[in-house]
């Protein structure tokens, strides 16, 4: 899944939680919720790197992926 596809998926997932508000407010809340989730994922991955003393490409690639998802959410 591309970062753009993941960003769309997360925002629309949170959009469902806020269904019923006016469009702009709901979209803003959905974006905030999605950004909270992405920040949590990035934080957890960064902790894993420190805790496991791992510098491998897999975790670093995951962090980069989620940082890109975050950028895409902000552009929605």
Q: What is the pLDDT of residues 16-69, one digit of tens each?
A: 666 655 555 677 777 888 888 888 888 878 877 766 655 566 777 888 888 999
Give the count of beta carbons closer than 10 Å to the beta carbon of residue 59: 15
**Is the model's pTM score more than 0.85?**
no
């Amino acid at each position: 899944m591309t970062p753009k596809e993941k960003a769309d998926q997360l925002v629309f997932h949170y959009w469902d939680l806020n269904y019923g508000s006016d469009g702009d407010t709901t979209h803003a809340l959905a974006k905030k919720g999605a950004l909270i989730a992405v920040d949590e994922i990035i934080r957890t991955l960064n902790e894993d790197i420190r805790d496991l003393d791992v510098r491998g490409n897999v975790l670093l690639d995951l962090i980069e992926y989620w940082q890109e998802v975050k950028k895409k959410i902000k552009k929605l």
